[in-house]
Amino acid sequence: MTSDIQLNAINVPRKGDGNTLPLSKPQPGRSVELIDPKDLPNLLSKLKADPVSSFRPPTLPAETALAQLSKPSADAVAASNSGLAPRNLFDTWPYSTMGKVFVGRTNDYKNAKFVGSGVLVGRHTLLTASHVVPWEWVASGDWWVRFVPAYFNGVAPYGDSYVSGWYGFKTDSVEGDDYVVCDLYESLGDRCGWLGVISLRESRYDDYIYTSVGYPAEVPERGQVPYVEYGLTIQDIDDEGENAKELETRLFGGKGWSGGPLFSDIDGGTLIVGVRSGRETDFLTKRRVVHAGGRKLVDIVRYAHENWKRPEWSGWQALGGSFPAGVNPAAVSRNSSSIELFCRSHDNAIWQTFRQSDGNWSGWFQIPDPGVLSGDLAVVSMSPDHLQLFGVGTDSQMWSKWWTDAGGWSGWQALGGSFPTGVNPAAVCRKPGLIELFCRSHDNAIWQNFRHPDGSRWSGWFQIPDPGVLSGDLAVVSMSPDHLQLFGVGTDSQMWSKWWTDASGWSGWQALGGSFPVGVNPAAVCRGPGSIELFCRSHDNAIWQNFRQPDGSSWSGWFQIPDPGVLSGDLAVVSMSPDNLQLFGTGTDSQMWSKWWAPM
């Protein structure tokens, strides 16, 4: 069956706001993992049989019909009903998780060779029938699969995503293990939510009334709109060995419904018990529809959750403390599991908290002798047993104080210079023993000072060429021992950058675009060679990100991170490892808040 996808040139409304959400870039599939039956006993012994839970985004209302059908009754069974799903049903959860699957080949992304149905079972995990995905094209490597949740007559209300690969049992017939999980390029579950899965004791399947959703081709709409059937009961169960079950129901759906979920309200959650496999008739029964379910279904979904983790943004975590509105924290990582966080309080005391190796935070405590600083801190580490603070004093000099694991805190050392009260320095370490320190002066010149690698002395302050016309303080980062890069917001509200390499010296200024308040300060971090992540708050307190492509060819362009929180000042950012970064900022409630990006 060939189907025109009808989606190749439209922007569609995103639920919950008035913005448009562009369709995803066409992407081919990459990898397929076939479960070898001989490996199944070992797989089952490693994974839990517990249900996998569901998730409903707070922005999506829950549909209430399921609660009315959660217990069997004669009326409900008699009223088994199928038909065209109301359009607004898919504005609600769990129907927002269900959609249409398109399967195609080569770069002909406008036309699908086959279609089916599917459901989200994780942030970026799709569940569908095994016979829907193109096993026969895997060897050639020219296949693609696309999922559109809540697809309706060419409209994709929540966007779409292509599949990078799948994992499951290979079958092209009606079977109790006719299912695969697919890894999506896009995390559609953050927008749509997802459903969990469960395997029940055989007698418990009779305790519930079920619903199914799919895109049947054998109707006037030819699979372009979803159909729903309420009031389904399990008519028969066939065990398929090794924890696979054929769950047989009366169901209207035909071709195109394959992969659609069978679900109900079970144990307080909306959960899937099976996916549509096909029709079956034997000499004792009328024609029925088989849904593939059982323990294997739970296992492959759990496998995806545990093995397909990818970096995602967390929500905000409150770290406590009480800090002045607008004060800016400073953060550093000295090893792959620790973060040290510093912030000035109302009385100019310097407070510290640190992330412990188990992920918990120590709680806030004052460091000894806070000095008399007029602005916020910069912090840097030269080695796992060292960190160093910098700040401009009320006497306009730069001051420094350091910690070593062997010696504890030093006193304050004056580094000279003459800087405006309240200006904030920026510091970076690009090779063992070397610290580079930058600060803006009264006339907006940018001054630099560096610590000699042998530790014997500082170079003294000198101006860098061409300071540009910045409106706020600097961020500095290093990608390699022979490189460092400065960032700052200009008087034109754009972000600007300037870099140094040992081979070529200073570059000119490069405009990175964006529109930011005059005087706001960016934050920058390097997670790995060639990579820079840059963050800045905008006029409406949204947090914008831009990253340097690792090959150096370009920057990504500015995009908002989800859920900016309610911060009162600028950000600090730090990275413990190549797949982690963490933001910090003081909230309007005077607490410190944190948000991180890591595999989830």
pLDDT for 284 equals: 53
Alpha helices (H) along 51-111: 65-68, 74-78
Q: Read off the amino acid at residue 314.
A: S
How far is Cα 579 from Cα 492, in angstroms, rounded to an integer?
34
CB 296 within 8 A of CB 271: no
Residues contacting residue 518 through CB under 8 Å, at least 6 positions apart: 471, 472, 489, 491, 493
Alpha helices (H) along 11-120: 40-46, 65-68, 74-78
Whole-prediction pTM:
0.65
Give me the half-sphere count of Cα atoms (radius 13 Å) on the Cβ side of residue 495: 27
Sorted by where each starts, the structural domains of the chain and their CATH numbers stand as: 54-307 (2.40.10.10), 311-599 (2.120.10.70)
Residues contacting residue 108 through CB under 8 Å, at least 6 positions apart: none
Residues contacting residue 187 through CB under 8 Å, at least 6 positions apart: 123, 124, 310, 312
CA neighbor of 150 nearest in space, from 140, 139, 134, 161: 161
CB 519 within 8 A of CB 510: no
CB 402 within 8 A of CB 435: no
How far is Cα 151 from Cα 224, in angstroms, rounded to an integer?
8
CA neighbor of 596 nearest in space, from 310, 257, 315: 315
Strands (E), 28-156: 31-34, 81-84, 98-105, 111-112, 114-122, 125-128, 143-149
How far is Cα 370 from Cα 360, in angstroms, rounded to an integer?
25
CA 71 to chain centre: 37
- pLDDT tens for the 600 residues of the chain, in order: 333 333 322 223 333 333 334 466 777 777 676 665 555 555 545 555 578 899 998 778 888 654 443 333 333 333 345 567 777 888 999 999 999 999 999 888 888 999 999 999 999 999 999 999 999 998 888 999 999 999 998 889 999 999 999 999 998 888 899 999 999 999 899 889 999 999 999 999 999 999 999 998 877 778 888 988 888 999 999 887 668 899 998 866 678 999 999 999 998 899 999 999 988 765 455 668 899 999 999 999 999 998 898 888 888 999 999 999 999 999 999 998 899 999 999 999 999 999 988 889 999 999 999 999 999 999 999 999 999 999 999 999 999 999 999 999 999 999 999 999 999 999 999 999 999 999 999 999 999 999 988 888 999 999 999 999 999 999 999 999 999 999 999 999 999 999 999 999 999 999 999 999 999 999 999 998 899 999 999 999 999 999 998 888 889 999 999 899 999 999 999 999 998 999 999 999 999 999 999 887
CB 298 within 8 A of CB 275: no
Q: Read off the amino acid at residue 73.
A: S
Tokens 């610290």 -> residue:
435
- Which tens digit of pLDDT belongs to each residue from 211-250? 999 998 877 778 888 988 888 999 999 887 668 899 998 8
Write the DSSP string, 350-406. Answer: EEEEEE-TTS-B---EEPS----BSS--EEE-SSTTEEEEEEEBTTS-EEEEEEETT
pLDDT for 147 equals: 96
pLDDT for 5 equals: 35
Q: For the chain, how many residues are written?
A: 600
How far is Cα 205 from Cα 231, in angstroms, rounded to an integer?
14
How far is Cα 559 from Cα 581, in angstroms, rounded to an integer?
17
Residues contacting residue 192 through CB under 8 Å, at least 6 positions apart: 57, 60, 93, 96, 97, 120, 149, 150, 158
CA neighbor of 430 nearest in space, from 448, 408, 406, 414: 448
CA neighbor of 199 nearest in space, from 166, 247, 232: 247
Q: Read off the amino acid at residue 13.
A: P
